[in-house]
Copies of this chain bind each other. A is one copy, B any other.
Amino acid sequence: MNLQAQETVVGFIGIGVMGRSMASHLMAAGYPLNIYNRTQAKAEELLDRGASWRESPAAVAAHSEIIITMLGYPRDVEEVYLGPEGLLAHCRTGSVVIDMTTSSPQLAEKIAAAARQVGIAALDAPVSGGDIGAREGTLSIMVGGERNTFEQVRPLLACMGKNIVFQGTAGSGQHCKMANQIAIASTMMGVCEAMVYAEKAGLTPETVLESIASGAAGSWSLSNLAPRMLAGDLEPGFYVKHFIKDMNIALESSEEIGLSAQGLALAKSMYDRLAAAGDGELGTQALYKAYR
């Protein structure tokens, strides 16, 4: 337990699969926690362990010094931060708000500017590493905002992640996460095409992996997701529907900054077809079905 932690009251909004693990690490480190979630039932475990329930984001804001959000879509982020019952209207001056949702870089910039106007510091700090990274406290955290603010809350971020990197001004954390998703999108096409090619060519794809997984064709997706797709295991490590959400943000943002991300656009169109066929609740490795 971190003794200094006991003096800093933290708010946590968004107690889903990721948020629950992340908030849990903060409690274990000694931070008193105010929590809010749309569905209160999901917060029971944390409440049993001593977290305080608050009835709204506004109530979390009124009782906390640092507020973390881990939400779903950019529209949720916009409402929680900028809505009439939102954080910026109710946070105390001098508070720090940290959005760890994967969300729009442009929205992160907008929130940071609006926060500055009311004397609040805002960071965007999306993560990668998924539910396992959240559970084990090994997330990669990509941070945008003021560097001083980042340094101030770094001990708190360190409870939840291992690879914590300051990426630049407001929005830079989200931009970095978009770069991450953009790299994954086309890599997944390559992995699926390679595996389905092997299968259709009459090879044993598992034996092909022995030849290619550790060389220049190697990737996290090839080593970790290809074996799952070959075994017919399409359980979500990362949901198709969530990946589509991220790729939509990445495509909009690419357009805004003048990048024609053709691989990303193609990958998204293939995932869109997968979701349209009812596979949005599967893991991203289900893309190989689109090639078979």
Contact = CB atoms under 8 A, between A and B. Distances in A.
Interface of A: 105, 128-130, 140, 142, 163, 165-169, 171-172, 175-176, 178-187, 189-191, 193-198, 200-204, 207-208, 210-212, 214-222, 224, 238, 250, 253-254, 257-264, 266-267, 270, 291
Given A190-B185, A263-B193, A201 B253 contact: yes
Nearest to A269: B262
Kindly list the 3 A-B residue pairs having the minimum CB-CB distance in the complex, ordered from nearest. Answer: A186-B190, A189-B263, A219-B219
A258 B207 contact: no
A10 to B, nearest CB: 23
Contact of A179 (B176, B184, B194, B253): B194
29 contacts: A128-B216, A128-B217, A140-B212, A163-B211, A163-B215, A179-B197, A179-B198, A179-B203, A180-B216, A183-B194, A183-B222, A186-B186, A186-B189, A186-B263, A189-B262, A193-B254, A193-B263, A193-B264, A196-B259, A197-B253, A197-B254, A200-B259, A216-B224, A216-B238, A218-B219, A219-B221, A259-B291, A260-B291, A262-B266
Nearest to A166: B207
A93 B220 CA distance: 46
From A179, A180, A185, name the one whose CB has the most chain B CB atoms within 10 angstroms.
Answer: A179
